[in-house]
Amino acid sequence: MGSSDEKVVAVIMVGGPTKGTRFRPLSLNIPKPLFPLAGQPMVHHPISACKRIPNLGQIFLIGFYEEREFALYVSSISNELKVPVRYLREDKPHGSAGGLYNFRDLIMEDSPSHIFLLNCDVCCSFPLPEMLEAHRKHGGMGTLLVIKVSAESANQFGELVADPVTNELLHYTEKPETFVSDRINCGVYIFTPDIFNAIEGVSTQWKDRADLRRLSSFESLHSATRNAPTHFVRLDQDILSPLAGKKQLYTYETLDFWEQIKTPGMSLKCSGLYLSQFRFTTPHLLVSGDGTKSASIIGDVYVHASAKIHPSAKIGPNVSISANARIGAGVRLISCIILDNVEIKDNAVVIHAIVGWKSSIGRWSRVQASGNYNSKLGTTILGEAVTVEDEVVVINSVVLPHKTLNVSVQEEIIL
């Protein structure tokens, strides 16, 4: 067991603007990690989970967004959680392991005994204290959070084989062409500082190979030969795969929910998963109402304190309503995210949709989709400041910012 004075730090990889292209048009307005799920920025969920880690010293966010885009949030969350949160900007992409190594001196400045590494675009219950306890029991350099998925979907992720008794990671392969296992990597890890030696070893190997290539007179004649990018190290292919089966890495399996947040549709699904979790972890964040003095609330619903909702509206399940939204009489909202300063006028219906900042939906209009979160048009998305006029129906469509719809559309992308 670890001593009570051992420090633990957490690192959350937040990516950058070039990584959030599948999240458009929502990422046109806000960095993807700050997009609200269940009323809280996406990155807030792993950050608040880190707060439960015993002896947590500091949280680092690593990415290549401009620092100014995170400055306000980092300041407010540090004050709220009473834990130092720092944003570290990469000058260029270094890979998931290379980014960690690039800031090793800052991460290790308080000599932590363990380092959590999380990906921001993962939605799960983040059982971090349990992972730490399991890791201390079996030792080794690191522990991966894993989950069982369907055999059909496993090859979209890193598949792995672990010893059923010791939980040692025996084999790891990223997105294999043939089926390997129904256990996958969740993108949540805990490491000892030895991880930096492993990453340095990979960089050194690549540098040595690059030096050998430069000495080859034959290869020097071929302009297609380029030096290996020794600073770019991937955690999965370059670290996990080579160390599997060497009693260095172990697994911790979660039986809770897990999803990857790559698209707006998946963000809506994950918002619902977090709302469901609130019922057990932070029920005060959910609202209630029976339609007498306040709106009828069904299931798990988050409403910002500044939002105005007519008592005759019916809201839920899986609805998140952000700041200064105005919801009119007779409105029906099901499975949707309503962003800041949206107005939804009387008797409108919104189902399986995300309504962008400052948008307006007219009286008796419908904005809806099929609810297939994996389909490109399975969730209807209205970008910023979109106006849907009265009695217009928008189905299975994506509308880019600052558009006005005065006719109904179905299965369209409105540029």
Q: Are 327 and 344 in contact, with CB atoms under 8 Å apart?
A: yes
pLDDT, tens digit, 9 for 90 and up, residues 269-323: 999 999 999 999 999 999 998 878 899 999 999 999 999 999 999 999 999 999 9
Which pairing describes strands 387-388 and 360-361: parallel, antiparallel, or unpaired? parallel
What is the pLDDT confidence band of residue 158, given thresholds at 50, 70 and 90?
confident
Q: Closest Cα partner for 280 from 314, 257, 309?
A: 257
Is the confidence at residue 334, as pLDDT, over 70? yes
pLDDT, tens digit, 9 for 90 and up, residues 60-71: 999 989 999 999
**The pLDDT of residue 354 is above 80:** yes
- The single-letter code of the amino acid at 128 is L
Provide the token pair at 368: 């809806």
Residue 278 is predicted with a pLDDT of 95
Integer-rounded Cα radius of gyration of the chain: 23
| Confidence band for 203, pLDDT divided at 50, 70 and 90 | low
For residue 4, pLDDT beyond 80:
no
- pLDDT confidence bin for 326, thresholds 50/70/90: very high
Residue 130 tokens read as 């349990």
Token pair, residue 270, equals: 């994950």
User: 113 is written with which tokens?
Assistant: 């005994």
> Does the pLDDT at position 20 exceed 90?
no
pLDDT tens by residue, 389-401: 999 999 999 999 9
